Structure 1
Amino acid sequence: MAAPKHLPLHHISRSAGHVLVQYLYTDTYRTMIWIGPTDGQKEMIAKLRTAFEVYDTAHKYDLKGLVELAREQITILRKDIDAFIIINIFKEAYPTAKANDFWFRAFIKDTIKKAFEQPATPLPAKTATDETTATDLAVEEQLVNQDLPFDNILLQGALEV
């Protein structure tokens, strides 16, 4: 099978495109230098999103070596990232998994298993006798104005059970 002369890459970010070009020239997985905030997990989350995009693109163009490298990156980067964030990332960056992508199925299963073993602290249910503080009101206001995907609600409920 001859390789296409032009690859449409408008669907991926510049960071994923950078990794793809680096791989095509050097057979390595190299990301762009991070120039964002260094506090919190923003860098790890951005790199995980890029790895999922690379994984999807490598599958699309049958780049088996790059698929393996992206898997390694995803496995390393997901260590300290909340399961809900991982789910949101893969929904954006790898929206339709292939039926024969057994590694991805195992990855998701393992992510959920780890979430059950170390669940995040759920928000307490508010009762009629609770006293409302300024902090409670601020948290409530944030939650009221925030959309929450159904799968996040479903997984959170399962974790709490």
Structure 2
Amino acid sequence: VASCRSFAGNIHLPNVDESTGHVLVHYLYTSAYQTLDDMETSLVGEANIEFKKAVLAYTAANKYSLRGLQQLSKHKIEHFGAEMNIFNVIEAIKKNFSKLLCNNPWVYNYLDRKAKTTFKEDHTVFTRNNFFNRINDVALAKVMAKCIVELYNNKVSRMLNTEREPVPGISEE
């Protein structure tokens, strides 16, 4: 530890912004998750900004195999994502999805859960609001299309099964 304190060199972390770098360094020194305060955020925008920071921290933690920071970042993603709708979540991750989060089962599961929650509230939500027009990343569009097709498939299957069930007391002759 003493040798770490005397380190005067630079650490080069390509593709890591200042905010994410702070989270990484703070975690390495304290094993805790901490972001820099953003003085210009409103309460409404705070969840979106902190969500983005958590996604970038999660991505860096994956890249550098920091399992503890991965778990802390997941918790922050879940926490701040709970305050966001699916549209804001997609907006927050779409820019870097292919580079940062593609092929990550936890991210797929998170997006699937978020889509299911949204669909439960309103099963027509994905048919309007130009949902797919907002997604400019092919990998993200494929993930969301798979989630949404499964949701509609399950709904149609339930509807068909309900129609086929015999009504008690009525003969099927």
Report TM bin, short chain: 0.5 to 0.7
Q: Distance in 1 between the 2:123 and 2:59 partners?
A: 28
Task: Give percent identity, aligned residues only.
Answer: 24
Look up the match of 1:72.
75
- Give how far 1:113 is off: 0.6
- Give how far 1:148 is off: 3.7
Kept after mapping to 2: 8 A contact 1:49/1:90: yes
Q: Distance in 2 between the 1:121 and 1:35 partners?
A: 38
Kept after mapping to 2: 8 A contact 1:49/1:93: no
Q: Distance in 2 between the 1:119 and 1:10 partners?
A: 42
1:95 counterpart SS class: helix
Q: Distance in 1 between the 2:38 and 2:70 partners?
A: 22
Kept after mapping to 1: 8 A contact 2:91/2:134: no
RMSD: 3.2
Kept after mapping to 2: 8 A contact 1:18/1:31: yes
Once the two structures are overlaid, the 10-residue window that deviates more, 85-94 or 48-57, is: 85-94
Kept after mapping to 2: 8 A contact 1:56/1:94: no
Structure showing the higher helix proportion among its residues: 2
Gaps of 5+ in 2: 1-8, 153-173
Partner amino acid, structure 2, of 1:149? I
Q: Distance in 2 between the 1:23 and 1:113 partners?
A: 33
Radius of gyration: which is bigger?
2
Does 2:30 match 1:44? no
TM value normalised by structure 2: 0.62
- Give how far 1:55 is off: 0.6
What count of residue pairs does the alignment treat as equivalent? 131
Q: Structure 1 149/93 Cα, relative in aligned 2: closer, same or farther at 3 Å?
A: closer
Gaps of 5+ in 1: 126-142
